[in-house]
Structure 1
Amino acid sequence: MSQAEPPVLVQREGPVVHVTLNRPARRNAIGGGMGEALDELLDELRGHATARIVVLRGAGGHFCAGLDLTEVVAGTPEERLAAMQLRNRRLGARYAEISALPQVVIAAVEGAAHAGGLGFLCSADIAFATADARFAAPEARRGLVPAQILPWLARRMGRPNAARMVLEGGVITAEEAVRRGLVHEVAPDRAGLDALVAASIAQLLEGAPGALAETKKLLAALGPLSPEGYAEAGAQAFGRTAAGPEAAEGIAAFREKRKPSWALG
């Protein structure tokens, strides 16, 4: 990807909007203006009169590897803490805005769907994956907390499965993701994934757009995603851990491809 390419690509095909996270060199990690580009797109989609379906993918064979941990926040410790809290707070709001879109959102997952990428996956209404897709919530292994993705994982997978995923932090396969309720169906390859998406689009277009939008509102009305105040508490917790010594060691270990100092064995 050249520097001139935008971090989010948008292609419209009639009532379907194809959205591609476009930082393939970073496995589409959230950074480099991606969040801001998504915010602009979400503002547009909320008032879009003809768009009925949004398909979310990642470029280069990966979905999204979460927040870009290589981006360094400058300033004093207090300024860095505030910036990290703001970044995490905005990430949680972004997931809520994806979920609240009047359009039906389909996540089409290849490769890595890790950490913050799981929030995109779980805030979508329907999720498909290729057989080689891999899923992980490794924040605790980096000295961080899965602040904003945890409620979405719990809603999609159920609390016991979400707890296991965020506490163990290991990678699970696409087959296991189906068993745990993280994705709806798995295809053998990209062609099969495209076929699943196309079949779902065909069925969704049989539904009246207003009725589908109202149905999404009813699904949301079944219960809140998390208790009042959780998102802010999550942002505060993320900021504290991200500014602490465990995150410094965990992120360094991740970059250096070694185990952090607290890992045993």
Structure 2
Amino acid sequence: MTDENPLLVTREGPVVRAIMNRPERRNALSTAMGEAWDRLLAELATDRSARVLVISGAGGHFCAGLDLTEVASDETPEQKLARQQARNRRTGARFGDIAALPQVVIAAIEGSCHAGGLGFACAADIALASATSRFAAPEVRRGLVPAQILPWLVRRAGRPAATRLVLEAAVIDALEAGRIGLVHQVLADATALEAQLQRTIAAVLEGAPGALAETKGLLSALGPISPDGYAEAGAAAFARTASSEEAAEGIAAFKARRKPVWAA
């Protein structure tokens, strides 16, 4: 498996599409994909000719979250702790960068939208999903914590719904995701999703670019996504759990398609 083109970026006029492109891994977020995201977001932050960013995934899935094969390593505990902390810190900042874009960001979701995939969906301004989509924050079942997606889940769906989602760690369907506000609209299938996406893009383009960017700024000014210090605390918590025996067991169980010892 290679990561030659982990993020496919196309443009048609003012509309930019970013397609997460690791279909053999349900578009799990690799280091290479994260770096590609960071390059794109840096470009878009100063590009006033782009007005809409559409986020989607290749192969019928949105994003299955962090590639767990990159969590396991042969590093020393100290090296692994530092690497995981840096990675999780950057993940949280990336979601913030998406939300801060002057463009209107639309997530078009099919299939799996798990873990970090939820971060992309909730950092977007508008989230549309096909009826076949499935949503989950499974981190605790892997011995990990949903550190950097949690503030975004709370902002989108509210604290009670987010609490249940991250503690039960169960998969919910698109209708339930719509009911709790995780997505704005659920469409019957991929064709209907694309049709609604085009309608949403057309509606957004009716708005003045400067006014839309200023409106997004006002929405951000209503309050921070998380309190001061949360991002660093979350990164540290993820690093600790990712370096733990629980994570080693949880990830091994996930790969072997069995229950971890604590659930047996």
Whole-angstrom CA distance in 1 between matches of 2:63 and 2:116: 8
Write the letter of the residue equivalent to 1:14: G
Q: Structure 1 residue 32: deviation in Å? A: 4.8
Deviates more, 1:157-166 or 1:3-12: 3-12
Q: Which structure 2 segments of 5+ residues have no match?
A: none
Per the alignment, in what secondary structure is the counterpart of residue 30 of structure 1? coil
8 A contact 1:7–1:32 mirrored in 2: no
8 A contact 1:82–1:239 mirrored in 2: yes
1:38-92 CA-to-partner distances (Å, cap 9, x unmatched) read 0000000011121000000000000000000012444211001100111110000
Alignment of 1:1-265 (within 5 A): 3=2, 5-71=4-70, 72-264=72-264
Percent of matched pairs sharing the same residue: 66
Relative to the length of structure 1, the TM-score reads: 0.97
8 A contact 2:3–2:22 mirrored in 1: no
Per the alignment, in what secondary structure is the counterpart of residue 50 of structure 1? coil
Whole-angstrom CA distance in 2 between matches of 1:52 and 1:174: 27
How many residues in Structure 1 have an aligned counterpart in Structure 2? 263
Relative to the length of structure 2, the TM-score reads: 0.98
Q: What is the aligned-residue RMSD (CA, Å)?
A: 1.0
Write the letter of the residue equivalent to 2:96: A
Per the alignment, in what secondary structure is the counterpart of residue 106 of structure 1? strand
Whole-angstrom CA distance in 2 between matches of 1:171 and 1:257: 16
1:94-142 CA-to-partner distances (Å, cap 9, x unmatched) read 0000000000000000000000110000000000000000000000000
Write the letter of the residue equivalent to 1:235: A
8 A contact 1:109–1:130 mirrored in 2: yes
Whole-angstrom CA distance in 1 between matches of 2:125 and 2:96: 12
8 A contact 1:249–1:261 mirrored in 2: yes
8 A contact 2:3–2:33 mirrored in 1: no
Per the alignment, in what secondary structure is the counterpart of residue 113 of structure 1? strand
Write the letter of the residue equivalent to 1:259: K
Whole-angstrom CA distance in 1 between matches of 2:48 and 2:256: 48
8 A contact 1:137–1:170 mirrored in 2: yes
Whole-angstrom CA distance in 2 between matches of 1:242 and 1:27: 21
